Structure 1
Amino acid sequence: MTTDITPAAVDAAPDGQPKRKWIGRSMKRVEDPRLLTGRGGFIADQKIPGLLHAAIYRSPVPHGRIVSIDATAALAIPGVVAVVTGEDCKAKMNPCMNFGPTTIPQYPLAVDKVRYVGEAVVAVIAESRYLAEDGVDALKVEFEELPPVVDPMKALQEDAALLHEEHGSNLAYERTFTFGEVDDAFAQADLVVSDTLHWGRSAGMPLETTGAIARPGLNGVLEIFCNSMNFSYFVWLIATALNVPSNRVTISPVPAGGSFGSKFTAHKVPTLAGFLALQVNRPVSYIEDRFDHIMNSDHHASDRYYDAKLAVTSDGILLGLDIDVVDDYGAYLQFGVGTHGNALSQGVGPYRIKNLRYGLRAVLTNKCQQGAYRGFGSEVQNWVLERLIDQAAERLGMAPEEIRRKNFIQPDEFPYKIPGGNLYDSGDYPAVLDKALSMIDLEHWRKEQKRLREEEGRYIGIGLATTQERSVFSSTEFWYWFDEPAFPITSSPESATITVDPAGEFQVLLHSQAMWGNSPETVAAMVVAEEFGVDPSTVNIRYADSAHALPGTGPGGSRFTVMVTGAIRGAAKKLQKKIIEIAAHTLEVPPEDMEITDGRVQVKGAPELGQSLAEVALTAYFFALNLPPGMTSGLEEAYTYDHPLTTLPSPDRSDLGIFYPIMGHNCHIAVMEVDPETGMTTWLDYVAVHDAGTIVNPITLGGHVTGGTAQGVGTAQLEELVYDSDGQFKSSSFWEYLVPSATEVPPMKLGHVETPSPYTEFGIKGGGEGGRMATPAVISAAIDDALREYGMRVRNLPVRPADIVAAVQAARQEQKAD
């Protein structure tokens, strides 16, 4: 079967300006008033009669066999109800859902062995969290310690201790993907630049930690309230883990105080809460404290070591990219190697690089497993590629903007197929670069850089990065690492239901979403307002639980706005048709002569002939004999919107298919002062220009860009989850793990270029992750540029003041020796 990738016509006026009233308009978030007044209704706010609370005993050793667990003293504490261990899990449930091999199973509580400091070992259930913590303190757990495996390179050695004996190796996955004629490209190159790079482990750190409450119902249904994402997509897998029929588990979403990927999948926490509730036949709550969340929330992000090479001609044309990466996945493989699918979806960036080799080894170590974090691995690929391009520009004596402009995919080349098979839907990369350059006044800063160095001895650096922001993943992404997937899914839909009640008021039901901070209610209300000509403030948004949800995948991968807009617009078209048919029947005019505008159904060209939506609704609900023949009562329509463009990979994986085609783009330029004596940096200017297609709401998109940039600053300069050589975790609080505050984030100037996608409703692209996609690269470039006379090259993130001082001192010593 051949997939048609011919672009559809974008809904725009002949002069190119959209015919829209609400889409593209700056509007305050409708979610904010209740959040700002303490009415968010988060997981800890849920009040359930008879609720018990769980606390977790976590492993103090990185690697060891569980010899014994003595719960006698814990159970003797008044108010302690039960103690549950991994043996209970193994006897009564299946391993948790994961995308890794079956030889690397994982339960909510450790079975037989512990594999990292902080792994959950025992759950204590009590009448209060205080009593449960007392019970944890009273436990006596004995371990037979085993040699820790912390360094991923040493983990691959033959004599390394095995984390999973059944798997037989600490190498969880190995494959080299080759697209194009890579060796020929490097043979033809006039210049090959190479580098060894390390992207350090960090995490999203939302304000609220992960939590769940499970309640066995009187009707035999286990209800789980949780702030985990993608609940309706994964509920049947949680039921499978719990050995409960899928129609006997209902997951109800509650608002979440942020995620950034840390709550991407309903994995161990909701499953654990459900299992504990089933053991005591009472409602049980488990909510992480901050210590739990930092140490063990399954959201540690990429921890990668690269050997990377770029082939370039003498005039700056990029010929080929060759990457070898060792990824330190930690103790388990929850997401398989999905983060590298994200990398391959935009592996050559915005450039016409025709040849790509990508060698991957995923390694198991005694650390918390990797999960999701904003970018899901694609931001790392951006950083690596931009580091090589900066080096190539320097070696060739080209300006950073010049080498990029020379290699951009041009606007008339879209849709554009990259090495590996993914499609870029649209873009105008030169326009984004030009806008960023004009906003920052690059020539002014280059003159200032020279003047301040010569006259005041100050070190000013200018960094520039142009990177991709893939969005709207397809589930076919998960095929790429298997020769024969055990469960080759191809669906990743989104659903919505629109109801006009008898009074003419609108309600929208979202089927795989809760209030996440990604403005779902604002987006949904604006799309309904656009379709029906009503005010967004009159639209009420509700959320389905899994028992009532139509097919949906949920947020993640910057997909929500595109997909939910498609679902709402699909439902709206069905509902518009019914409304028009009712009004036309009432007014005795042909339906094709009717239109809906400003919340009213009227005859085209004769607006005095029409009905309000409330009048039509009244007929629809209460006057069936006045409806057109064969029409049923009510005004409610649902629609399931499937991924707009996806294809399967080739059998030999020489082509991975189209799985992330809605491609955004950004250009960030930073001006930074660096003190070589202290290593401290000071922001002087920062511009971020993004192309996220048609913008739904500039205010919310600006929030995404600003927040993502702040997290990129953390990744580049502050944040790292550190394990020492003995496997002990050294970053268990915000004293050791530094997240950026307002003082560390640059004052930003934001700009947008809108290149509508030809494949999505309204031409929207995702925009939730772009800030973090570029910031680490632009900071690295600015630091290098400031300290160029010392040969500075940022190769490891985060780059801290001490790293900068050490590099400067080493360069000075070398200069003295010469």
Structure 2
Amino acid sequence: MTTTVSERAWIGKDLKRREDPALLMGTVTYINDFKVAGMLHAAVLRSPYAHARIRAIDTSAARALPGVQAVLTGKEAAEVIGPVPAFCAEPVVEQAIAVEKVRYAGEAVVAVAAESRAIAEDALDLIEIDWEPLPAVTDALSAMQPGAPLVHENLGTNVVYDHVFTFGDVDGDFAQADHVIRRRLRWPRATAAPLEPNGAVCAYDPARGTMEIWSNTNMLNSASWVMSSMLKIPPHKLNFYPMYTGGSFGSKHFLAKVIGIAGALSKVTGRPVKFMEDRLDNLMANDSQGPERIYDAELAVTNDGKFLSLRLQTIDDYGAYFIFAITGNTNMMAQITGPYTIRSVATGIKAVLTNKNQQTVFRGAGSDVGNWVLERLVDAAAEQLGIDRVEIRRRNFIQPDQFPYKIPTGNVYDSGNYPGVLDLALAHFDLDAWRQEQARARQEGRYLGIGLATAQQRSTYSSTEFWFHNPAPATGLNSTPESVRISVGPTGGVTVTMFSPFWGNSPETVVAQVVAEELDIDPRDVNVTYDSTAHALPSAGPGGSRMTVMLAGAVHGAAARLKEKIFKIAAHMLEASVSDLELVGGQVRVKGVPSSSVSLADIGMRAYWFKLDLPPELESGLEGTFTYDHPYTTKPHDDRKDLGVFYPIMGHAAHLVAVEVDIETGAVLFKKYVAVHDVGTVLNPRSLQGQIRGGIAQGIGLALLEEVRYGADGQNLTSTFVDYLLPSASDVPSIEVYHQETPSPFTAYGVKGGGEGGRMVAPPAVTSAIEDALRPFGISIAEMPITPEKIVRWVKEAQSRHSRQTH
């Protein structure tokens, strides 16, 4: 299914994103722009307590306010909707509106629908609640202690999941090791903070028992049957419409709470209802917070720097609920050994519930954490053994001739050339020159650091990752398809219909390029549309860096079916054999006889309106549909000693960073940033570079600034952008991005996903650079974000230790 780049007309070309003009001109409709006749507006009263019982709620004054059409408490909402869908086996129940008890500050308690948002918010001020505050538990270590307040009493514990996965002879490999590198590492809770928060418009038709839903969720076809149980409406009577999305970064997968609230209010009023989060809603209660983990990590190493085994023990603070179970941990099992030939792994996972907003997935979905932890161990091994950081990586890289390569967990890496990626990064960075500059700077009392990370960027998930953490014979979904329809109209115009929403990953550009490649036309001539779930073919939608791979495969397959009919009609018209035809420049012609040809417009007209002139076995119309299933996946073994192939389309990157650290202020100044990524065949370099740079900006934000913090009472201390710090233009350096192409043997054109790679590699690279800058002080960095305050404190503590030792 792959061809060489030189044979391609459009794939690999630098094309402007076709999505951009509409976005820049403001002609697209976002969910908050969407209006429908008779629409009401919703607002939500949120809990001021992290943990409390709801004794009583008086909503009478709110109901009496002119313009208010409905007021729903949790108990009242439970009469028309069910619990939020959960993808965990454990009995952790969540309601869109809390019933009897709240478990984090900001949890929804009452929802109001009114003629305007202002009226709905005024109504909230009139609601009186009798609370019984309860002790809150706000960190995982405290939550595991005997006698700790229980987030969910029915569980009898706050440790909702506790299991050790072992792959290979871990004990034997550690026994053979000459050195065991040990680190306790802390990864901070962060949040996606998209420009556009979550929202939904739900329109219930009581006469038909149907509901139409407009939402910026990315799960459409795969959400309808899941949402049906919550909304208490049969799946075939739900119709989701795809919407443009103003940022997600993994935070808008199901949006069950906003859909549940809008849906419940629509059911009781019989009118369409819009619920749109404001910024406070989103930062406090969006369910898109990332992992908050403590790692006890060990790497078994020989004297010559060979990695033998990896052992991890993770304590993961999941917050108050558990909607996706331990997906953030299972996700990283796809690449847990990184680009290295580590032959055995043990990973223990304790998932702990606390009185915080829950985590689900955020760009990287936990694999970003795994990269950071592993690269911290690799840097520590290089330091302890006195081996250069570049050299120790070279000694442990999987080699190009070893692919496809099976890692201990059972996942397979499809292809790669990791030494080549590193060589390219070094060539553009000029490491020797920067080391000389570092030596000069230290003589001048300046602290320059050089950071390196060589890490994986898995893509194209298989849904088995969502359930293999449960013991056999438990089963779950194992299909993650994507579909398209390609139509050639009676005048030759080409239209592609997708069944997943626009998602910032240039889906329209991708499908236009691939269609243009297959039909040999200009991609600007391709019309791209979206369709609702009522008319949809199977589609799992965006997530897990899958859309470029899956759309390319779907378009490739649909184009093949379309071309089959095109050639049959053309052969009939030209009185030629199908095998003698070729498609060139929108014309089907006889090979070697360019004058004997027929245009797509002629073929389209014949297909639609001249049935009697078609071969008798052909029906009218001219279209091709195709459902592209995962290119390569297998089920896990029953004993879970092999998790199967669940994320095989494996990208790789090397980042080299030079920073200067001001030890008086803690400021970090980027001097140079080089990123080399290998995500297989590059469809559109311009678009990919934008994704990589955006991901690196997020990674820098996490490394230096971002953290969701809670007080001892469970209050969110970062509920505005004054307190939750995002990187600005001044924080992000000029980033040099280069590509190496190692095509995948499993996908159409050899493409791999690259949407999350920048964020998944930047944190370890930046951490490495700052630690290198602070090396004269003997500082080992084991936590993020690396704030100016921490840097100043670490340096002062190191200077104090040195002073005591010298006296």
1:437 counterpart residue number: 426
- The answer on 1:676 being equivalent to 2:663 is yes
- Tell me by how many angstroms 1:90 deviates: 2.4
1:295 counterpart residue number: 284
Q: 1: CA distance between counterparts of 2:44 and 2:94?
A: 16
Using structure 2 for the length normalisation, give the TM-score.
0.99
Pick one of 33, 40, 43 that aligns with 1:52. 40
Which stretch shifts more, 239-248 or 326-335?
Answer: 239-248
Q: 1: CA distance between counterparts of 2:789 and 2:37?
A: 53
Pick one of 512, 525, 549 that aligns with 1:562. 549
Matching residue's letter, 2:372: W
Structure 2 residues not aligned, in runs of 5+ = none
1:236 counterpart residue number: 225
Pick one of 521, 539, 555 that aligns with 1:552. 539
- The answer on 1:411 being equivalent to 2:396 is no
Match of 2:83, SS? coil
Matching residue's letter, 1:32: D
Mapping of residues 764-803 of structure 1, within 5 Å:
764-803=751-790
- Tell me by how many angstroms 1:326 deviates: 0.5
Which stretch shifts more, 379-388 or 166-175?
Answer: 166-175
- Tell me by how many angstroms 1:253 deviates: 1.5
- The answer on 1:256 being equivalent to 2:245 is yes
Q: Contact 1:43 / 1:254 at 8 angstroms: preserved in 2?
A: yes
1:11 counterpart residue number: 2
Mapping of residues 185-224 of structure 1, within 5 Å:
185-217=173-205, 219-224=208-213
- Tell me by how many angstroms 1:116 deviates: 0.2
Q: 2: CA distance between counterparts of 1:597 and 1:364?
A: 60
Q: 1: CA distance between counterparts of 2:364 and 2:802?
A: 40
Mapping of residues 32-111 of structure 1, within 5 Å:
32-101=20-89, 103-111=91-99
1:4 counterpart residue number: none
Mapping of residues 469-484 of structure 1, within 5 Å:
469-484=457-472
Pick one of 112, 133, 138 that aligns with 2:126. 138
- The answer on 1:712 being equivalent to 2:702 is no
- Tell me by how many angstroms 1:425 deviates: 0.2
Pick one of 712, 720, 724 that aligns with 1:725. 712
Mapping of residues 181-580 of structure 1, within 5 Å:
181-217=169-205, 219-454=208-443, 456-484=444-472, 486-511=474-499, 513-580=500-567
Q: Contact 2:554 / 2:627 at 8 angstroms: preserved in 1?
A: yes
- Tell me by how many angstroms 1:583 deviates: 0.5
- Tell me by how many angstroms 1:453 deviates: 1.2
Q: 1: CA distance between counterparts of 2:672 and 2:446?
A: 16
Pick one of 592, 595, 599 that aligns with 1:608. 595
2:167 counterpart residue number: 179
2:743 counterpart residue number: 756
Q: 2: CA distance between counterparts of 1:272 and 1:642?
A: 34
1:689 counterpart residue number: 676
Q: Contact 2:341 / 2:397 at 8 angstroms: preserved in 1?
A: yes
- Tell me by how many angstroms 1:266 deviates: 3.6
Q: 2: CA distance between counterparts of 1:487 and 1:284?
A: 37
Match of 2:94, SS? coil
Matching residue's letter, 2:430: D
Match of 1:92, SS? coil
Aligned positions, number: 804
Q: 1: CA distance between counterparts of 2:647 and 2:659?
A: 34
Q: 2: CA distance between counterparts of 1:479 and 1:291?
A: 33
Q: 1: CA distance between counterparts of 2:307 and 2:436?
A: 29
Matching residue's letter, 2:287: D
Q: 1: CA distance between counterparts of 2:6 and 2:537?
A: 31
1:6 counterpart residue number: none
Matching residue's letter, 1:491: S
Pick one of 162, 165, 174 that aligns with 2:153. 165
Q: Contact 2:163 / 2:348 at 8 angstroms: preserved in 1?
A: yes
Match of 2:275, SS? strand
Q: 2: CA distance between counterparts of 1:98 and 1:799?
A: 34
- Tell me by how many angstroms 1:479 deviates: 2.6
Cα deviations by residue, 1:428-479 (Å, 9 ceiling, x for unpaired): 000000000010100000000001111x211000000000000000011123
Cα deviations by residue, 1:323-377 (Å, 9 ceiling, x for unpaired): 0000000000011111111110000000000011100000000000112111000
Summarize the Cα distance change of 1:353–1:565 in structure 2 as closer, same or farther, 3 Å threshold.
same
- Tell me by how many angstroms 1:18 deviates: 4.2
Q: Contact 1:89 / 1:107 at 8 angstroms: preserved in 2?
A: no
What percentage of aligned pairs have identical amino acids? 50
Q: Contact 1:532 / 1:597 at 8 angstroms: preserved in 2?
A: yes
Q: 2: CA distance between counterparts of 1:467 and 1:104?
A: 34
1:596 counterpart residue number: 583
Matching residue's letter, 1:739: L
- Tell me by how many angstroms 1:486 deviates: 5.0
Matching residue's letter, 1:643: H
Match of 1:34, SS? helix
Matching residue's letter, 1:237: V
Q: 1: CA distance between counterparts of 2:393 and 2:27?
A: 48
Q: 2: CA distance between counterparts of 1:507 and 1:704?
A: 26
Cα deviations by residue, 1:654-687 (Å, 9 ceiling, x for unpaired): 0000000000000001000001111111010000
Match of 1:637, SS? strand
Cα deviations by residue, 1:603-626 (Å, 9 ceiling, x for unpaired): 111111111100000000000011
Match of 1:124, SS? strand
Q: Contact 1:480 / 1:653 at 8 angstroms: preserved in 2?
A: yes
Summarize the Cα distance change of 1:177–1:239 in structure 2 as closer, same or farther, 3 Å threshold.
same
Q: 1: CA distance between counterparts of 2:108 and 2:90?
A: 20
Matching residue's letter, 1:792: I
Summarize the Cα distance change of 1:546–1:43 in structure 2 as closer, same or farther, 3 Å threshold.
same
Q: Contact 2:29 / 2:244 at 8 angstroms: preserved in 1?
A: yes
Matching residue's letter, 2:707: E
- Tell me by how many angstroms 1:102 deviates: 5.1
Q: Contact 1:585 / 1:628 at 8 angstroms: preserved in 2?
A: yes
Q: Contact 1:479 / 1:649 at 8 angstroms: preserved in 2?
A: no
Q: Contact 1:783 / 1:792 at 8 angstroms: preserved in 2?
A: no
- Tell me by how many angstroms 1:689 deviates: 0.4
Q: What is the aligned-residue RMSD (CA, Å)? A: 1.0
- Tell me by how many angstroms 1:550 deviates: 0.8
Q: Contact 1:680 / 1:801 at 8 angstroms: preserved in 2?
A: yes
Q: Contact 1:103 / 1:164 at 8 angstroms: preserved in 2?
A: no
- Tell me by how many angstroms 1:192 deviates: 1.0
Q: 1: CA distance between counterparts of 2:2 and 2:632?
A: 18
- Tell me by how many angstroms 1:397 deviates: 1.1
Pick one of 634, 649, 654 that aligns with 2:621. 634
Match of 2:154, SS? coil
Q: 2: CA distance between counterparts of 1:253 and 1:334?
A: 23
Matching residue's letter, 1:369: Q
- Tell me by how many angstroms 1:516 deviates: 1.6
Cα deviations by residue, 1:36-74 (Å, 9 ceiling, x for unpaired): 111121001112111100000000000011111111111
Q: Contact 2:676 / 2:738 at 8 angstroms: preserved in 1?
A: yes
Q: Contact 1:11 / 1:18 at 8 angstroms: preserved in 2?
A: no
- Tell me by how many angstroms 1:130 deviates: 0.3
Q: Contact 2:604 / 2:621 at 8 angstroms: preserved in 1?
A: yes
- Tell me by how many angstroms 1:232 deviates: 1.0
Match of 2:200, SS? strand
